[in-house]
Amino acid sequence: MTLAIALPVSAAKREFDFAPADHQKIARIVYDTLGILLPEGKSQLVYGRVAPRVRACGLTSVSAYLAVIEQDEDERNRMLDALTTNHTSFFREAHHFEDFVERMWPTLSQRLASGGRVRLWSAACSSGEEPYTWLMAALGHDRSAAQRLLKGDLRMLATDVSPSVLETARAGRYSADTLRTVPAKLRATWVSDRLVVDQALREAISFRPLNLLGPWPMKGRFDAICCRNVMIYFDEPTKAKLQARLADHLETGGMLYIGHSERLSPEVAARFDCVGRTAYLKVRA
């Protein structure tokens, strides 16, 4: 997950009053709820995201809006959604999917063919490009072989805190420009002429809302987890806590993939071997 960059809005041109105390209050709500840091340097971004909600509520200041969300949980969630709008792409950091296909997929596909189960998790999946990429890369362009595997016990969980991006992900409909990074053979196999991801892939993925800092309902462990480009917004204690939870939900011998600028905390790193670029094999429980 990557927060999109908002264009600066100078204080002189602001439609609504927005005091430093308003930013601090919003930053505290976001940190306490989602663990995301919004320092003073992001005040223009915050204003750009919150202003449409102030306008939609018919208010004249951000402080008045903050008073509303103290009482209105639905509006509070709409603000959080606005502040966590994501930017992603198909086949972003493609080396992770290449590693998975080479390192994990031969064993996992054989397990599926033998009647076993495979569980994958795309954490902070944004608008769906990552989980769809993951399955496309694994299943390849041999549709008949892929269909046999999809009939097995293969399930991918894809989660995000933003309801709006999950709606896009479930629909699986993307623009031609968004789909341009999908290799031609895979696009021909898995994307319709109407630019919709194939129903077989959509049905293999369960898109669910999940706050990574909140309770997790999942009971079993996963064979591989992608949690990429979200921890860059967290402080070190939050990163360490999240990474430990991810490790606990990963099978020994499973893979954890994180973003190119992210690193495991020392305590969690002791449970893994780094086997590629931000690709970690769990070797200790």
Q: Where do you find CATH 3.40.50.150 in the chain?
A: 95-282
Task: Tell me which of 49, 53, 119, 202 is the catalytic residue.
Answer: 49
Provide DSSP, the chain. Answer: --BPPPPP--GGG-SSB--HHHHHHHHHHHHHHH-----GGGHHHHHHHHHHHHHHTT-SBHHHHHHHHHH-HHHHHHHHHHHT-B---TTTTTHHHHHHHHHTHHHHHHHHHTT-EEEEEEET-TTTHHHHHHHHHHHTT-HHHHHHHHTSEEEEEEEES-HHHHHHHHHTB--TTGGGGS-HHHHHHHB-TTSBB-HHHHHHEEEEE--TTS-----S-EEEEEE-SSGGGS-HHHHHHHHHHHHHTEEEEEEEEE-TT----HHHHTTEEEEETTEEEE---
Domain with CATH 1.10.155.10 in the chain: 11-83
The answer, yes or no, to whether residue 2 has pLDDT greater than 50, is no
Active site residue 193: no
What CATH number was assigned to the domain covering residues 11-83?
A: 1.10.155.10
Is the confidence at residue 260, as pLDDT, over 80?
yes
* 160 included as an active-site residue: yes
* CATH architecture entry for 95-282: 3-Layer(aba) Sandwich (3.40)
For residue 154, is pLDDT > 80?
yes
- Encode pLDDT of 24-63 as tens digits: 999 999 999 999 999 999 999 999 999 999 999 999 999 9
Q: Which of 22, 99, 119, 160 is catalytic?
A: 160
